[in-house]
Amino acid sequence: MVTRIDRGHYRIRLDEPGLTEDSSGNITAMKARELGRGKVVVGDRVAVVGDTSGRKGTLARMVRIEERTTLLRRSAEDGDTAGTERGSSPTRTSSSSSPPWPTPSRAHA
C-alpha cells in the first residue's frame, strides 16, 4: 500500500514485511511508464517488481494499481452543507436598511 508520495518517489508498505532487510516492510518505488501520470494516490494497493529489500538507495517499480475498494466523495470539512455556502449572500431577518453585521462607530472631530 502506498503510504507517502514525495517528488515522484512512492513509499510503500509491503503486505509481507519480512521481505525487507529490516523487516519493516517499507520500500521506495517509482512508477512504471505504463501507469501514466497522476493515477497513484496514498492508500492505493500496488504491485511492485525489482529491488524490494528496502535498503537505502534502492528502488522498486510499481507496475500495477489494484482496484480501489473505497472512494472518497468529499472531505470531512465539507460537512452536511457541502456546496451551499459558496455563492450565497447573507440573508436579512428584518426589513431595516442597516446591514446584518455590526458597523464601526465613527468619532467626529
Give the model's pLDDT for residue 108. Answer: 60
For Cα atoms 15, 19, 24, give the angle at the middle one, nearest 5 degrees: 70
pTM: 0.61
pLDDT band for position 94 (cuts 50, 70, 90):
low
How confident is the model over 21-34, as pLDDT tens digits?
898 999 999 999 99
What does the pLDDT read at residue 99? 62
Give the residues across from 13 on adjacent strands.
Answer: 26
Give the span between the Cα atoms of 36 and 46, in whole angstroms. 14
What is d(CA 63, CA 47) in angstroms, rounded to the nearest whole number?
6
Please write the tens of the pLDDT for every residue from 62-93. 999 999 888 777 666 666 555 555 555 555 55
